[in-house]
Amino acid sequence: MKENEDDYKIIVDNVYKTFNVYLDKANTLKEKILFLFSRNRKEKREVLKGINLKIKEGEVVALIGTNGSGKSTLLKLMTKIIYPNKGTIKINGKLTSLLELGAGFHPDFSGRENIYFNASIFGLTKKEIDNRLEQIIEFSELGTYIDNPVRTYSSGMYMRLAFSIAINVDADILLFDEVLSVGDEHFQNKCLEKMKELKDEGKTMVFVSHSMESVKRLCDRAIWLRNGKIEMDGNTNEVVDEYVKETR
């Protein structure tokens, strides 16, 4: 029986991603003069090398691997922040992401103003944001800080606000990159419980984390990336156990 692409929320087909790394970037006037005739030397670094994967509706998938393995790059490709050099990525459904802490926030706007600013980027109307405003503020636990400029926020406060917005935009697909790496333990656990609720509602999620405990608690499937390739893809416990054994 032929597979129907509509059965999948995310299809990554033979994706390659290469970045140019400049080797002689000049930071001072002296360096600029010294590098005048040999500047712009660069090398290509292949971050992803022929990635193929399909994620079904309702799946919660962890991307694991050491730093530099390509996890965050793959998430950025899924959001179309960047594009592959080769291959295609197909997304079936409304997608929201929390990839870089505070991305999309205006530092001089208050938390409340940034809720409207950020949620509108995700496609919500003012009326829809009005209806969810108190719910977003309540979940963030920012209290009176919600009316302070976000440039005064700590990294934990940024995460609270960004996560609270991301989970309230009624997306079919949610992408999270190290969302549980900042903030206090109480709010991290609260985020994890909310992600479990979204899982029970049938949302599709892709979750990058270095916390193998959180991955095991939340995800049914794990994909281990190593040097830009898929090393292992399967049952979370099996993949995580192999990954931990290899990286000890």
Q: Tens of pLDDT along 79-138?
A: 998 999 999 999 999 999 888 766 678 999 999 999 999 899 888 999 999 999 999 999
Token readout for 125 is 């109307």
Token readout for 112 is 């409340």
Strand partners, 230: 225
Whether the pLDDT of residue 46 is over 60: the answer is yes
- pLDDT-based confidence at residue 170 (cuts at 50, 70, 90): confident
Nearest to 203 by CA among 167, 158, 162: 167
Q: What is the pLDDT of residue 99?
A: 81
Say how far apart CA 123 and CA 168 lie, in whole Å.
11
Whether the pLDDT of residue 150 is over 90: the answer is yes
Q: What is the pLDDT of residue 34?
A: 58
- pLDDT-based confidence at residue 1 (cuts at 50, 70, 90): very low
Token readout for 166 is 């991301």
Q: What is the pLDDT of residue 88?
A: 97
Say how far apart CA 195 and CA 176 lie, in whole Å.
10
Out of 47-51, 150-154, 181-185, least confident range: 181-185
Out of 3-17, 24-38, 234-248, least confident range: 24-38
Task: Show me where the domains of the chain are located.
Answer: 5-33+42-247
| Mean pLDDT, rounded, of the chain | 88
Report percent pLDDT > 90 for the chain: 63
The predicted-structure confidence for 192-221, as pLDDT tens digits, reads as follows 899 999 999 999 999 998 889 989 999 999
Q: What is the pLDDT of residue 141?
A: 94
Q: What is the pLDDT of residue 101?
A: 62
Q: What is the pTM of this model?
A: 0.85
Domain 5-33+42-247 annotated CATH 3.40.50.300: yes
| SS3 readout for the chain | CCCCHHHEEEEEEEEEEEEEEECCCCCCHHHHHHCCCCCCCEEEEEEEEEEEEEEECCCEEEEECCCCCCHHHHHHHHHCCCCCCEEEEEECCCEEEECCCCCCCCCCCEHHHHHHHHHHHCCCCHHHHHHHHHHHHHHHCCHHHHHCEHHHCCHHHHHHHHHHHHCCCCCCEEEEECCCCCCCHHHHHHHHHHHHHHHHCCCEEEEECCCHHHHHHHCCEEEEEECCEEEEEEEHHHHHHHHHHHHC
Whether the pLDDT of residue 181 is over 80: the answer is no
Q: What is the pLDDT of residue 2?
A: 52
